Amino acid sequence: MKPSIPRGTRDFGPAEMQKRQYIFNILKTNFQLFGYAPIETPSMENITTLTGKYGEEGDQLIFKILNSRIHESKDDKKEELKKEFNTSLEKSYNSELLTEKALRYDLTVPFARYVVMNNHALTYPFKRYQIQPVWRADKPQKGRYREFYQCDADVIGSNSLVNELELIAMIDKSFAELNIPVLLKFNNRKILSGIAEILNASDKIIDITVAIDKLDKIGKEGVVKELGEKGISESAIKQLEPLIDLSGSNADKVAVLNTFLSTSDIGKKGIEEINFLLNHLKTISTQHIKVELDITLARGLNYYTGTIFEAKANAGTFTPSILGGGRYDDLTGIFGLKGLSGVGISFGVDRIYDVMEELDLFPPSVNKVSTTKILLANFGEAELMHCVGLVSKLRAAGINAEVYPDVVKKIAKQFEYADKKQIPFVGVVGGNEMANNTIMLKNMASGTQEEVDFTKLVEALK
């Protein structure tokens, strides 16, 4: 049988894992630096927890898990199962008789579920980070996987926009350390709601935002066409034009919005929130990323109600979204806990990896397959056991060390092993060295070697 793995999933070898862990470590360190505490949730959730939170399109992308042992059902139940199965064949339909669990689609909804279930034990505002894989039943493409990691940081139980500011500061610091040039776009769903209200099309808000969101991709004409197809009236589209044409500085954009939204309460609230962030950006003094108000930014997820974020690499040709996030005023409400507002962001590690690979941003220290400092090579059984003793002394001294575990005819084999793993030093122990209580230490890069005692060996490797 020819081995394979499901489409859109990947194996990660030691070389890739070095680089992935480098990213994870930077993010994790910063999460902790900003006061977030780690949690984990199960890979699978009850499917009812997930459905209806991600929009119509999102629901289709949820990975469903078939109930186990359905063949053991009683006969009358089987009739019902067949009916449910047939219905599933006809239309998009969820039957709990067939499927009661699903793989998590993101980390935010499971987090909201967690908060509601653990409300009694949490101190608010509750700040958590979570680094786990999520799954989407999508068709894989470049930069799009069916299993990928998200690194989320969320604050729940605080309405303050200071949380947004701090998130921006954390985004800045993280991308600075990863050395990725980044453009962080933000917007506010209240602006979008205000626009829909002014146009008398509040029920079409999703259609409008999705269409406007595509501006940089399909251009103004494309947006106008799509709006028409979605049933937006011509006069409304005409009204929208100044917004579609919106450009210039952040302040210029706000000025246009002020006029456009002057009669919408929710719109004005959105402008107020945007202004707060713009006015205080200097307080957190972002050093690295570029922050830009983009009123065409919509984001697909249904649960956002306030600020929304999206970041892309600001260099290279491959620039997928590598971070997303936003504020959700009542995500816990669906699970029975009202009045908790939260805001959070999600780093997409797999795409960050792809971008860093394209821009060649990994430092040389992580661009290798092994962290071993020295390999001890042996000439036979007695020497091997001598090495086993030596290597444990090296480890006690804090040096990453390994011993070649087999006795082989050719010592070259052991050097080859060290070379392939890019181990910088090889210690050779033969009869002479054993008698002298020394090690022949070879520097693999320069090719030079020197007979040293243990003290000198540790010094050379420190």
Partner RNA sequence: GUAGGUAUAGCUCAGUUGGUUAGAGCACCAGAUUGUGGUUCUGGGGGUCGCCGGUUCGAACCCGGUUACUUACCCCA
Smallest distance from the beta carbon of 250 to RNA, in angstroms? 22
* E-state strands within 140-233: 147-156, 182-188
With beta carbons less than 8 A apart as the criterion, state whether 41 and 152 touch. Answer: no
Q: Cβ closer to RNA: 254 or 460?
A: 460
The CA-based dihedral angle spanning residues 134, 137, 143, 149, taken in that order and rounded to the nearest 10 degrees: 10
Q: Cβ closer to RNA: 73 or 316?
A: 316
- Closest contact distance (angstroms) between CB of 287 and RNA is 22
For RNA, the closer of residues 89 and 396 by Cβ is 89
CA angle, residues 322, 328, 329, in degrees to nearest 5: 165
Lookup result for tokens 């793995």 = 5
Q: Are strands 182-188 and 147-156 parallel, antiparallel or unpaired?
A: unpaired
* Token output for 274: 């945007």
> CA-to-CA distance for 143 and 350, rounded, in angstroms?
8
Q: Which is nearer to RNA, 143 or 333 (CB)?
A: 143
At residue 275, what are phi and psi to the nearest 5 degrees?
Answer: -60, -40
CB of 449 to RNA, least distance (A): 5
Indicate the SS3 state at residue 18.
helix
Least separation in angstroms between CB 385 and RNA: 16
Q: Compare residues 116 and 440 and give the one whose CB is closer to RNA.
A: 440
Q: How far is the CB of 424 from RNA (least distance, A)?
A: 8
Considering only CA atoms, which of 276, 324, 285, 280 is closest in space to residue 107? 324
Look-up of token digits 């829909």:
196
Q: 264 or 386, CB closer to RNA?
A: 386
Burial zone of 239 (CB within 10 Å; 0-12 exposed, 13-18 middle, 19+ buried)? middle
* 300 contact partners, CB below 8 Å, separation of at least 6: 54, 55, 57, 58, 210
Q: Is the Cβ of residue 31 or residue 145 nearer to RNA in the bound state?
A: 145
Asked if 260 contacts 195 with a C-beta cutoff of 8 angstroms, the reply is yes
From the CB of 156, what's the least distance to RNA, in Å?
18
Cα 243 from Cα 209, distance rounded (Å): 12
CB 67, min distance to RNA, A: 21
Nearest to 135 by CA among 105, 163, 113: 105
Smallest distance from the beta carbon of 324 to RNA, in angstroms? 3
Query: What count of other Cβ atoms lies within 10 Å of the Cβ of residue 142?
Result: 7
Q: Which is nearer to RNA, 134 or 169 (CB)?
A: 134
Transcribe 151-171 into DSSP letters: EEEEEES---THHHHHHHHHH
Contact at 8 Å (CB) between 403 and 387? yes
Q: Which is nearer to RNA, 218 or 407 (CB)?
A: 218
Binding residues for RNA (CB under 7 A): 4, 6-8, 55, 57-58, 61, 106, 136, 138-146, 148, 150, 210, 213-214, 217-218, 298-301, 310, 320-324, 346, 348, 350-351, 379, 410-412, 415-416, 418-420, 426, 428, 430-433, 440, 442, 444-445, 447, 449
Rg (CA), the chain: 29
Output the smallest distance, CB 182 to RNA, in A.
Answer: 12
In the DSSP assignment, the letter for residue 375 is E
Contact 45, 85 (CB under 8 A): no
Residue 233, phi then psi, degrees to nearest 5: -65, 155
Q: Which residue's CB is nearer to RNA, number 183 or number 254? A: 183
Least gap, CB of 135 to RNA (angstroms): 9
Question: What's the closest the beta carbon of residue 76 comes to RNA, in angstroms?
Answer: 31
Closer to RNA at the Cβ: 271 or 301?
Answer: 301
